[in-house]
Amino acid sequence: MDMEMKYRIGHGYDVHRLGDNRKLILGGVEIPNNNIGLTGHSDADVLIHAIIDALLGAAGLGDIGEHFPNSDEKYKNISSVILLEEITELINKNYIISNIDCVVILEEPRLVKYKETMKEKLSEILQIAMSDINIKAKTEEGLGFTGEKKGIAAHAVCLLYEKTNG
């Protein structure tokens, strides 16, 4: 292995409140949830937002708020897929995404039947194999704001390696 190869690890976190009359979108996939979804300036996809922050952190490029400020009306109700596409293009200039590992923290709905679709969508956007993406869903056993069904949180970690000129 090339000892000059540089690896970079990033961690991302996001949280949004649940609210009525919103679509629940996680990992770019709409999930039926009785018209209860995440509230925010964009579509509030906590999973994609955590992935974006992990990628930006690993590359040393700041955070999602610096790239897509919620004070800018052009991002109002925007699909987080579009934001991730832009960040993927930025990251791919100098890095290769090795893998991404995520956890979504929520009481309901159960995500087991949506995880493969989410991985498929994310692999298309990130231009990596589905096998390089892992998504876990956890409850907090009724504890805290996620346990009380007031919001959903997500964490993501990623490994990037720097492209070599050779």
In a domain? residue 2: no
CA 68 to chain centre: 14
Domain extent at residue 145: 7-162
In a domain? residue 93: yes
Which secondary-structure segment (H or E) carries 133? strand 133-138
For residue range 12-61, what is the model confidence (pLDDT) as tens digits?
Answer: 999 999 999 999 999 999 999 999 999 998 999 999 999 999 999 999 99
Task: Check which CATH number belongs to the domain holding 53 and give it.
Answer: 3.30.1330.50
pTM of the model: 0.95
Complete DSSP assignment for 32-55: --TTEEE-SSS---HHHHHHHHHH
Closest CA relative to residue 5, chosen from 157, 160, 129, 131: 160
Quote the Cα angle for 61-124-6, to 5°. 40
More confident residue, 132 or 73: 132
In a domain? residue 150: yes
Q: Which residues, other chains included, contact 151 with Cβ-Cβ below 8 Å and sequence gap of 6+?
A: 15, 16, 17, 18, 38, 145
How many structural domains does the chain have?
1
Q: What are phi and psi of 48, to 5 degrees?
A: -65, -40
